[in-house]
Every structure is written in C-alpha cells, then in structure tokens.
Chains A and B, each alone.
Chain A
Amino acid sequence: MALSMKGDFTDNLGKIYGIYVGGFAAFVVLMAIFSMIGVPDRFILWSYMAATIGIYAFIGIMSRTAQVSEYYVAGRSVPAIYNGMATGADWMSGASFVGMAGTLFVLGYDGLAFVLGWTGGYVLVAVLLAPYLRKFGAYTVPDFLGTRYGGNMARLVGIVVLFCCSFTYITAQVYASGIIASQFLGIDFRYAVFAGLAGILVCSMLGGMKAVTWTQVAQYIVLIVAYLLPAIWMSTVQFGIPVPQLTYGGALSQIAEYERLLEVAKPYVVPFQTYSAMDYFFLIFCLMVGTASLPHILMRFFTTPTVREARKSVGWSLFFIFLLYFTAPAYAAFSKFNLMGLFVGAGAEANYQLAFSAIPQWMIQWGSIAGHQLVTICGVKAETVAAIQAACEAKGFATGFPYSELALNNDMIVLSTPSIAGMPIWVVGLVGAGGFAAALSTADGLLLAIANALSHDVYYKMIDPKADAKRRLLVAKILLVVVALAAAFLARTKPSDILSMVAWAFSIAAAGLFAPLVMGVWWKRTTTMGGILGMAAGFLTTMYYLIGNVYGFDFVKGTGDEISWFGVASISAGVFGVPVAFLVTYVVSLITPEPSQEMQDFVDRLRLPKGGTMMVQGH
C-alpha cells in the first residue's frame, strides 16, 4: 500500500478500514453521479460487481500466507470487534440477506422464529462454548472432539457430522451467488456460477483464515450498507424519520387498517397462523442450538488473541448481526404496506381490485424472469398483461384482480424493493453487491470449515502426522479448490432437493455436535465412549427423522410411508436428536469407567483462561 504505516497490518486496522469505507462511499457516490448523467444501467451494475470482487481479491492476495497458524486461525490476532464483523458476514448468508425480509413479508409474526432463532443462539455460544474452545487452541472443531474424546474415532464422527451440515449449505451459497451474478450481469446461470466460484476462491485460497477474515470484514461493510440504505430511504420517504426500525410501527398499524379493507384472512401481526405454537417454539430451539453448533461459526472464535476477547467478540458478532435482523421486519412491513397501498388506492368503488391497465411495470419485469416463478397473479406466472387478464377472467375477475390473487416469492422482496419503491439504479446495484457479498462471505467460511477439517484432521492428524508445514498448506489449498469445485458443479445442476436441505443443517449440527461439545467442557465425568455414542445417537436420530419424514424409506417423496412423530416438522428434527444426544452421553458415561486423571486435569485447565492455549500446534 502506498501509505506509510508503522507496525504491521493489525496495528493499522482502524486506518485501513477507514480508508476502505471512504473509498466505498466515494464509489457509491460516483455511481450515483453516473446514473444521473445517463450512463447505461448495465455499465453501473457491472461496475458494482467488478469493483467489489476486485477489492476482495486485492485483500485476499495481500493476505496470502505460508504459516500454518495464519492459514488455519488467522494467527490468533483478530481483535474482538473485527472478529465480530467477520462473524456477521460469515453468518449472514445469501439467504439471510435475500430471503429473510421476504419470509417475514409472507409469514408475518410466524417468520420471527427465524429472527429469534438466529440471534439467540449466540448467547449459547458465548456462555457455553466460545471461551473454552478458544482456550483449548484447536484449529478445527473435530480437533477438539478428537482430543477430548480419545482420538480418531471421535474425530471421524465429528467430521462426518460437519460434512453433512456444511456441504449442502455451501452448495446453496454457491447457487445463490450464481443467481445474483446472473441477474445483475445478465449472463447465463451456468457461467455465473463460476463467477461466484472465482469470487469465493480469490478470498480464501492464498491466505486461508487470515484472508477470509479480512475479506469478510470488508464484505460485512458492503452488505450492511446495502441492506440499511433502502430501508432508511423508505422510512424517510414515508415518515420523514430515517430510522426504519422505529417508524415501521406506523406501517404496522396501517397494514392492520388495510387488512380490514382488503379482508385479508391472515392478519400480519397475529401469531401462529402458518406454524402451530409448537412448531414455532421447536423451530426457535433448533435454530438457536444449531447456531451454537455450526463449525464455521465456532471456528471464528478460534482467531481472537485471548479468551477474554473471544467472549467479547461473540457480543460484537451478535451486535453486527442484530443490525441486519432488526431491520428485516421493517423492510418487510414497508414492502407490505406499499403493496397493499396499491390495492387500497384502487378505491372501494373498484372493490379494491387492481385494474389490469394499472399493473405496475415491476410485476411484469420480475414476473417474466425465466426459470423462476417470482410473481404469481391469479395462479399464473406474471409474464404479460394479456396472460394475467385471461387467467383472472377465468376466475371471474373482469376488470382487475384483488390483493388475495397476488403472490410474491420470498426471495424477490429485498432484491426488488429498490425498483418497486422507484429507487435509482445505483441503489439497485448496491443491493445486488450486498447480496453477492453475503453469499460469498458465508461460502468462504463454510469452505474453510470443510477443507480445514479434511486437511488438518483427516490428512495431517490421521494419515500423515509427519508432514511438514509446506506440505500441509499445499494439501489444504488443493482440498479447498476441490471442495469448492465440487460445490460449484453440484450447484450448476440446480438441485432443488439439496437446496431445500439447507434448513436441515441446523438440526443436524445441533443434534450431532452440541451435546459432546457442551458436556466435554461442563461435565468432567463425560467419557470417551459417552461422547462418541452420544454424538452418533443424536446425529442418527435426527437423520432418521429427516429422511423418514421428508422422503420415507423408499427415498421417494409423497408415497405414504413417511413417518411423523407428534407432527413435528422436518426443519425442527433437532428437537429429537438434541435430547437423545445428551441422554446417551450421560448414561453411557455413567456406566463406563471415569475418565483418566490426565483427562480430568485437562478439563480443569480448559476452564481457566490463564496460561495460554493448551494445544501446541506444530508449525
């Protein structure tokens, strides 16, 4: 860098990211000027993509490393607040960014299960796990399991669980980045996937965790600005106060008013219309415990300089995540309010039906995107006014259609809001860049979690413990590319089953990993056998229910052999696995001989922050 800097990179973080934020703001202003002087839209959208990928690549290349500890845990030098931002980006996936507000838009109160579940889990991380895992000083989550539960058997079971919950998840992220790239760059999805893949690899390949950390901080800044700006814009336009999180109460009361006029069957703020109360609370439970067990999240807390910083950084992580999650309901409420306003505006004399001639441009524009059914009117894809009119007339609506005949896909709410609310193209491009950043940053975290488990735990710990640093890093980088390519090729086939399995990741991680991690720290008496069998039992119970509930045991959907226990939805399958894992760990530990004195001393040391990390890693 051209600046004169004393000390190394981490001493100058404030300065570097200050310059970065200034540069990013200047870039957005430049795009705003371009759009005003009439530069073509397409050029602006391409500029956003090129500039953001360019800066991520720059950070990725600057952060290349030849040191094992930098590659796996960023040299344990990431301050709490920066680790918080990186965790925020790591956590908020393309689906959170693109789909969260849409889910709330469609489900109303019931959608808040996701908001609660995906934030409350961090309390469990801070209190039960992060400080102890940091103190231990592992490179990966299976590394901890292997050491606490006597070696390779536990390590292997841990890797299987990790792989099951992370691989479907990364496929979905690559898919999401491909979708966003294809829409904004106007290129075919099959090639756009590889644009996404390139974006992922430039961040992670040369510098591992170190590079991913510093790009994730940069990505967090892009995604949070992109998320907040349109919401602030709408709030200012409608209520004159630029704090959407406060003003959307006004939108909520307006929505209630409109609902009476439009005779909406499911009021927006009334609970348990889509989910039963039981489903709602089970879902919150699984998402919370799952959050506290996902390896790509837990490993972020390995990177702080101290145990104390690890605890604080969980607080910062949740704060930065909170900024997005407490804006999402505002987003949803404003969009709902705007949309219902269209129909109310048609007037009582028109029976609050939107005339065919008054169908807004964006409905057709988003409705006619090939390969997706984003806007549905009177049961048909909203491609042309004529098609809509024909379908509605068949249903007996001669002049227009009522609010109840319009259905929007969850995924289009955030991406389409700027164009629906009539914001200029530079905001549209910014939102696209934000969604892309969210998908890339999560994909990077997942990629490292999987590839590091394979290279550190399988290759180094189980196959070739004598490998030197150079060889280990080479293997790590090759595996990283292999896993990324596998995910990209899978995403390219648009595997709908795999994409719907992402929701499973939380239940699988919760059932397989939460009990052995927590009991390994909090109950000294937990034995090797107890840990391994508890992990396996929780994992298998949940997998059994997931597969049995969704597919049945002929592996074909809807053939009548599907199981259902107490009517629990498959997304909440963890409610069976988590207690089973705790129970089996407890019972088996009691009937097997007490752990050795050595292991009990090990747990004692784990509980005291003083004295540096316990695991001395080879370099």
Chain B
Amino acid sequence: MTEKLPPEVAEAHWSKTRNLMWVSLAIWAFFGFFIHFFVTALNNVVILGFPLGYYMAAQGSLIVFVILIFWFASRQNAIDEEFGVAED
C-alpha cells in the first residue's frame, strides 16, 4: 500500500475487470447450460461416431472451459498492466 491509486484510475480498472467478468460468465453459461438445451437436435449430427450433443457434454464444453480460464487469465493480466496495478 505504498501509493494510493487515483480514484478514477481505480474506477476505470475495475470497470474493465467487471466487463471481462461478464463476458467470461456469458461464455461459461453458454457452454455450461445453453448449448445442452439442444442436445437432442445436436445428437442427429454424428462426427467420428460421436453424436454432437453427447460430445459437447463429454468433451467439447470441457475444452472450452480450460481455454476460457487461460484466456481470462491473460486478458486480466493485460488489464492490470494497462493500469499499472499488476504485481512487480
């Protein structure tokens, strides 16, 4: 807590952080819930033996989650650096 950040910088940093949070949660909700509402229709598409609806729940969404977290971590890091609040 050496120097206190000017309130407008802190506000701008937090507003970007918050936007990133909403985007990440939207992607999460899409692949965690929304896409699986259509499993029966998706199951009609079969790739390499996998019905697509089954595949999304067994693998597809999981891959998205892993990538999403790494993407989020690097985006958040970029935001922190932009406002000079990243760790040294």
Q: Which residues of A approach B to under 8 Å, CB–CB?
A: 109, 112, 115-116, 119-120, 122-124, 126-128, 131, 245-246, 248-253, 269-271, 277, 280-281, 284-285, 288, 306-308, 311-312, 314-315, 318-319, 322, 325-326, 329, 522, 604-605, 607-611
- Give the residue name and chain of the A residue nearest to B68 (CB): A123
Please determine whether B69 and A123 come into contact, CB atoms closer than 8 angstroms: yes
User: B48: which A residues are within 8 A, CB to CB?
Assistant: 246, 249-250
Please determine whether B86 and A609 come into contact, CB atoms closer than 8 angstroms: yes
Nearest CB of A to B57, in Å: 4
B12 at the interface (CB under 8 A from A): no
B45 at the interface (CB under 8 A from A): no
User: B58: which A residues are within 8 A, CB to CB?
Assistant: 112, 115, 326, 329
Please determine whether A109 and B54 come into contact, CB atoms closer than 8 angstroms: yes
Please determine whether A308 and B86 come into contact, CB atoms closer than 8 angstroms: yes
Please determine whether A126 and B72 come into contact, CB atoms closer than 8 angstroms: yes
From DSSP, what is the main secondary structure of chain A's interface residues? Answer: helix
Please determine whether B21 and A127 come into contact, CB atoms closer than 8 angstroms: yes
CA distance A116 to B30 in the complex (A): 12
Please determine whether A271 and B39 come into contact, CB atoms closer than 8 angstroms: yes
Given A281-B33, A311-B77, is A115 in contact with B62 using a C-beta cutoff of 8 Å? yes
User: B32: which A residues are within 8 A, CB to CB?
Assistant: 116, 120, 123, 284, 288
User: A131: which B residues are within 8 A, CB to CB?
Assistant: 76
Please determine whether A311 and B72 come into contact, CB atoms closer than 8 angstroms: yes
Contact of A284 among B13, B33, B53 (CB under 8 A): B33
Q: Which of B54-79 contact A (CB under 8 A)?
A: 54-55, 57-59, 61-63, 65-66, 68-70, 72-73, 76-77
User: A124: which B residues are within 8 A, CB to CB?
Assistant: 25, 28
Given A124-B28, A607-B14, is A307 in contact with B62 using a C-beta cutoff of 8 Å? no
- Interface size of B as a range: 35 or more
User: A312: which B residues are within 8 A, CB to CB?
Assistant: 70, 73
- 18 A-B residue pairs with CB within 8 Å: A119-B61, A126-B73, A128-B21, A249-B47, A249-B49, A250-B48, A284-B32, A288-B32, A308-B80, A311-B72, A312-B70, A315-B70, A318-B69, A326-B58, A604-B10, A610-B84, A610-B86, A611-B1
Given A126-B73, A308-B86, is A252 in contact with B54 using a C-beta cutoff of 8 Å? yes
- Give the residue name and chain of the B residue nearest to A120 (CB): B32
Please determine whether A607 and B40 come into contact, CB atoms closer than 8 angstroms: no
Given A252-B50, A253-B49, A308-B87, is A116 in contact with B76 using a C-beta cutoff of 8 Å? no
Nearest CB of B to A272, in Å: 8
Please determine whether A269 and B59 come into contact, CB atoms closer than 8 angstroms: no
Nearest CB of B to A236, in Å: 17
Please determine whether A123 and B28 come into contact, CB atoms closer than 8 angstroms: yes
Interface centre among B39, B65, B72, B85 (most CB of A within 10 A): B65
Given A123-B24, A123-B28, is A608 in contact with B53 using a C-beta cutoff of 8 Å? no
Please determine whether B65 and A120 come into contact, CB atoms closer than 8 angstroms: yes
Given A253-B49, A281-B36, A315-B73, is A115 in contact with B66 using a C-beta cutoff of 8 Å? no
Given A124-B28, A249-B50, A252-B50, is A269 in contact with B43 using a C-beta cutoff of 8 Å? yes
9 closest Cβ pairs, A-B complex: A249-B49, A315-B69, A112-B57, A249-B50, A311-B73, A253-B49, A329-B58, A249-B48, A120-B32
CA distance A364 to B63 in the complex (A): 40
Query: Given A126-B72, A127-B24, A308-B87, list of 5 further CB < 8 A pairs?
Result: A109-B57, A122-B65, A127-B28, A249-B48, A308-B73
User: B57: which A residues are within 8 A, CB to CB?
Assistant: 109, 112, 115-116
Given A109-B54, A611-B1, is A319 in contact with B66 using a C-beta cutoff of 8 Å? yes
CA distance A181 to B55 in the complex (A): 35
Nearest CB of B to A255, in Å: 10
- Give the residue name and chain of the A residue nearest to B40 (CB): A271
Please determine whether A308 and B85 come into contact, CB atoms closer than 8 angstroms: no
Please determine whether B43 and A270 come into contact, CB atoms closer than 8 angstroms: yes
Interface centre among A245, A252, A314 (most CB of B within 10 A): A252
CA distance A307 to B21 in the complex (A): 16
User: B76: which A residues are within 8 A, CB to CB?
Assistant: 131, 311
